Amino acid sequence: MIMRLVHVVVVAALVVAAIDVYTIKFESTVRAEHVAKLAAEIKRERDTIAALRAEWALLDNPARIQALVQRHLALKMPDPTQIEHLARLPERPIVPVGPQSDAIATIIDALEAELPAGAAPGAAPIAAGATR
């Protein structure tokens, strides 16, 4: 009877061990696939970076920039007749000096006019029933 019990326990332990080994194998396979996907993504990103660096090197080439400048920026040396002396420039127009309107002062004056008689400007109105 004891031998049967030992056999049952050993068989149960083997089944549990087999399930545990299968679980570990399955998890390691899933993680290996994840690592492979990450490695492929890293390789793809590195290839993209290399392509972008090559494109940047092409776009940043000084000879290309010089050709673009000559084609699109048709700049010429200034003609000496284009330069004028300060003495020959017309005078600045005279701006009439008068009272300038101050919008904030107008608003403050309007608010002060609305205050009840005897109230000090800048003092907050006291609500009815309030105590000090």
3-state secondary structure labels for all residues of 1-29: CHHHHHHHHHHHHHHHHHHHHHHHHHHHH
2 to each of 6, 12, 16, 98, how far by Cα in Å? 6, 15, 21, 119
Does the residue 62 lie in any domain? yes
Does the residue 105 lie in any domain? no
Does the residue 58 lie in any domain? yes
Does the residue 48 lie in any domain? yes
pLDDT band at 96 (very low <50, low <70, confident <90, very high): confident
Q: What is the DSSP letter of 60?
A: T
Read off the pLDDT of residues 48-80 as tens digits, 9 standing for 90 and up.
999 999 999 999 999 999 998 888 888 778 888
In contact, 57 and 63? CB cutoff 8 Å: no
Does the residue 115 lie in any domain? no
Angle at 43 between CA 49 and CA 29, to 5 degrees: 155
Burial 72-104 (b: 16+ CB within 10 A, else e): eeeeeeeeeeeeeeeeeeeeeeeeeeeeeeeee
Average pLDDT, the chain: 85
Does the residue 85 lie in any domain? no
Does the residue 131 lie in any domain? no
Domain that holds residue 39: 8-72
In contact, 81 and 72? CB cutoff 8 Å: no
Domain count, the chain: 1
Does the residue 112 lie in any domain? no
- Which pLDDT score, from 0 to 100, does residue 131 have? 52
How far is residue 112's CA from residue 14's CA, in Å, rounded to a whole number?
96
